[in-house]
Amino acid sequence: MGRVFKPRRSLKDGRIWKSSKWYVEYRDAGGTQHRKPASGGETSRHCKPTLT
């Protein structure tokens, strides 16, 4: 079983950083965890993280 998510981090000044990219995380048959961007191509190169 895997999951699809957008990373978020809490910064020291209290703001929350949110990635603009989606990621896929899964474990293979050997138990190794993998995390890869869910989308690629031209549009993902122009996306920037956002701060709220």
Residue 26 has pLDDT above 90, yes or no: yes
Question: How far is the C-alpha of 8 from the C-alpha of 32, rounded, in Å?
Answer: 23
pLDDT 10s digits, 2-24: 899 999 999 999 999 998 889 99
CA-based diameter of the chain, in Å?
Answer: 41
Q: Which residue has the higher pLDDT, 15 or 51?
A: 15
Residue 51 above 70 pLDDT? no
Query: Residue 1's pLDDT is what?
Result: 79
What's the pLDDT score for residue 44? 52
Range 14-18 contact pairs with CB under 8 angstroms and sequence separation of 24 or more: 15/51, 15/52, 16/51, 16/52, 17/49, 17/50, 17/51, 18/49, 18/50, 18/51, 18/52
| Whole-number pLDDT of residue 49 | 60
